[in-house]
Amino acid sequence: MKAGVVKETAPGERRVALVPDAVTKLQASGIEVLVERGAGEGAWLTDSAYADAGATIVSGAELYRDADVILTVTKPASDAVGLLRPGQAVIGMLAPLIYPELAATLAARGVTAVSLDRMPRTLTRTQPMDALSSQANVAGYKAAVVAAAEFGRFFPLLITAAGTARPAKVLVLGAGVAGLQAIGTARRLGAVVSGYDVRPASKTEVESLGATFIELTAGVSAIGEGGYARELTAEERQAQQDELVGHIARHDVVITTAQVPGRRPPLLVTEDALKAMGAGSVIVDMGASALGGNVAGSRPGETVVTGNGITIIGADNLPASMPTAASNAYSRNIATLLDYMTSDGALAIDTSDEIQAGVVITHGGRIVNEAVTRLLPAEVNREEGSDVDGTAD
Ligand code: NAD
């Protein structure tokens, strides 16, 4: 089997799906690796490093022609989708709950789509393949570093001959993988840190990092499917937003990481909260997206300064800004999954397997993932490949 590593094309994307170390390991399992010329450049990985590890460097056209499995970080751009052929597989973070129509297109083209962001995350054996966690970990670290770099004062308590600097007060909203890493990093930089989440289980995790957990009197507890948060009702959301205003106003730096799978990010920092903050405060919105973010007025990929002097950083793709660390971790995730799904030198699709049931999105001309099917009109799976049994191979 030949696996092909693409050069990512999304604006600002500097990660690469596989690093040279993983090339050597995959070759040892009998998987030949093709690398598109310049694929690792953004992460400071040269073509010669890949060639030394045993990969063959090819053009984009050769890659799509010869590879059995295409390895990507993010979803393929539309011109790349046009190059994919029936029977070929693509493995990456394809965000099928956000782009179900891409899944429909891939199914129609007879492409097998495998999405790392649909990995079941509570099984111990999936942890080495959990790309959401590995990338969130990088993003949470970088969010705290970006906030510290933008903030006009020190994070730690500093006592010098020129006076005493009080420590920065940092609030992290959303204490999942990214939030906990942001809390830990801000603490290591010396800030006084608080954390908040709608999942009560996060209280002990926040406190174990030496931060204070904020409990709202509104007492919203919102656990959804698979241990994730659920979307709040309109009343719960209003109560949460109103009560958070006072907490946000007491802090110098706010880092927001709140996400609900498949939904637009919840708004946590409202216009009222922004008005209540002091000039010079910094907000890093990791929820920033084209659909809106956790912070009123944040814009993905942009830094906005409000009229009252609050800097809002729309940090939509922080892992791409730490491309080497993010690629190293992602490479481990994707190589482990590829190895797991390979049997007798070929990709062995079996959606009765607990892991594959999560990650395999399309196969045999059909969308085989129920969560994605639910988002599409009923006729999609009937029109495409209706004579093919796509549930298992
Ligand atoms: P995520 O990226 O989906 O969301 C980030 C955080 O935002 C979550 O903690 C969520 O509870 C929180 N959030 C959502 N809506 C909110 C709101 N309105 N207000 C405040 N906070 C809100 O989450 P994640 O980091 O991917 O983690 C999700 C869950 O998966 C967590 O329970 C985590 O511990 C769990 N997880 C488990 C494993 C494992 O068991 N191996 C691995 C990774 C993650």
Distance 256 CA to ligand 1 centre (A): 12
What percent of the chain has a predicted confidence (pLDDT) above 90?
Answer: 88
Whole-number pLDDT of residue 263: 80
User: pLDDT tens for residues 66-104?
Assistant: 999 999 999 999 999 999 999 999 999 999 998 999 999
Residue 383 has pLDDT above 70, yes or no: no
Q: Which of 88, 115, 133, 331 is catalytic?
A: 133
What's the whole-model pTM score?
0.94
The string of DSSP codes covering 142-161 is: HHHHHHHHHSSS-SS-EEET
Please tell me the distance from the alpha carbon of residue 188 to that of residue 331, in angstroms, as a whole number: 27
- Of the candidates 255, 253, 247, 301, which has an alpha carbon nearest to the alpha carbon of residue 140? 255
- The finding on whether 63 has its CB within 6 A of some atom of ligand 1 is no
**7 DSSP 8-state letter:** P
Residue 295 CA to chain centroid, in angstroms?
Answer: 18
Give percent of the chain above pLDDT 70.
97
28-54 pLDDT tens trace: 999 999 999 999 999 999 999 999 999
The mean per-residue pLDDT over the stretch 6-29 comes to: 96
To the nearest 10°, report the CA torsion of 228, 234, 240, 244: 110
From the CB of 175, is ligand 1 less than 6 Å away?
Answer: yes
Q: Is 228 a catalytic residue?
A: yes
127 is catalytic: yes
Q: How many angstroms separate the alpha carbon of residue 198 from the centre of ligand 1?
A: 9
Tell me: pLDDT of 193 over 90: yes
Q: What is the pLDDT of residue 392?
A: 34
Model confidence pLDDT, tens digit, residues 272-287: 999 999 999 999 999 9
Task: Provide the mean pLDDT of the chain.
Answer: 94
The finding on whether 205 has its CB within 6 A of some atom of ligand 1 is no
Lowest mean pLDDT, pick from 36-40, 181-185, 216-220: 216-220
Say how many C-beta atoms besides its own lie within 10 A of residue 375's C-beta. Answer: 18
Both structure tokens of 184: 């830990």
6 CA to centre of own chain: 19
Q: Is the CB of 3 under 6 A from ligand 1?
A: no
What's the rounded mean pLDDT across residues 243-261? Answer: 95
229 lines ligand 1 (CB under 6 A): yes
From 228, 264, 272, 339, the catalytic residue:
228
Instruction: Tell me, yes or no, if 343 is annotated catalytic.
Output: no
**pLDDT confidence of residue 264:** 85
User: Please, which pLDDT band fits residue 382 given cuts at 50, 70 and 90?
Assistant: low
According to DSSP, residue 311 is labeled: E
